[in-house]
C-alpha cells in the first residue's frame, strides 16, 4: 500500500503523525478526550479511524446521539451518517515490552477492544461538516 503524506499534530505535548486531510479530525477527537490509535485517509478508497478502546467509541456515539435528538429529524445528522458507515471491532491482547529481550513484546492476558470506523473517502467532507457540528473545535 502506498504511503500517504503525513503531518504532525501535538496531543498533550506529544507529537503524532497523521495522514494529511485527517489532522483536524484526529486533533479534535483528542481535544474532546476521545482517543484514536490509528487512522488512514485512503484505505482502499475508504477513510479509517480506529478508537483505542470501546469506551472512546461509546463516548463518541453518545455525543452524536445527543445531537441527533436535538436536531429531531430536521436534516441528516452525524448519527444518521454513522448508521450507514461500517463499524469493525478489532480485538487483541495487550502487550508489554519483554524485559529479557529487546525488540520483543509479551502478552499480558488483558483483552483490548478497539473499534474501527470506515466510510467512503468521497464522504469525508460530509463527515467533517457533521463531525464538527457535534464536536466543535475547542
Q: How far apart are CA 23 and CA 16, in angstroms?
A: 10
Question: Does a structural domain hold residue 122?
Answer: yes
pLDDT at 78: 97
Question: Does a structural domain hold residue 105?
Answer: yes
Low-confidence residues in the chain, pLDDT < 50 = 1
Q: How far apart are CA 117 and CA 33, in angstroms?
A: 17
Q: How far apart are CA 120 and CA 46, in angstroms?
A: 4
pLDDT at 1: 46
**DSSP secondary structure, 76-98, as one string:** --HHHHHHHSEEEEEEEEEEEE-
Question: Does a structural domain hold residue 43?
Answer: yes
Question: Does a structural domain hold residue 52?
Answer: yes
Question: Does a structural domain hold residue 1?
Answer: no
pLDDT at 23: 96
Closest to 52 in 3D by CA, of 107, 97, 117:
117
Q: Which domain holds residue 23?
A: 6-134
Number of domains observed in the structure of the chain: 1
Q: 67, 77 in Cβ contact below 8 A? A: yes
Question: Does a structural domain hold residue 13?
Answer: yes
Amino acid at each position: 500500500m502506498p504511503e500517504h503524506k503525513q503531518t504532525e499534530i501535538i496531543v498533550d505535548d506529544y507529537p503524532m503523525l497523521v495522514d494529511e486531510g485527517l489532522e483536524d479530525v484526529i486533533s479534535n477527537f483528542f481535544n474532546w478526550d476521545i482517543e484514536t490509535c490509528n487512522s488512514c485517509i485512503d484505505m482502499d478508497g475508504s477513510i479509517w479511524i480506529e478508537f483505542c478502546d470501546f469506551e472512546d467509541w461509546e463516548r463518541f456515539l453518545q455525543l452524536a446521539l445527543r445531537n441527533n435528538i436535538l436536531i429531531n429529524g430536521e436534516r441528516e445528522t452525524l448519527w444518521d451518517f454513522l448508521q450507514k458507515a461500517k463499524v469493525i471491532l478489532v480485538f487483541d491482547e495487550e502487550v508489554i515490552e519483554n524485559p529479557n529481550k529487546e525488540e520483543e513484546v509479551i502478552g499480558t492476558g488483558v483483552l483490548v477492544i478497539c473499534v474501527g470506523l470506515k466510510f467512503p473517502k468521497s464522504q469525508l467532507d460530509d463527515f467533517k461538516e457533521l463531525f464538527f457540528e457535534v464536536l466543535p473545535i475547542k
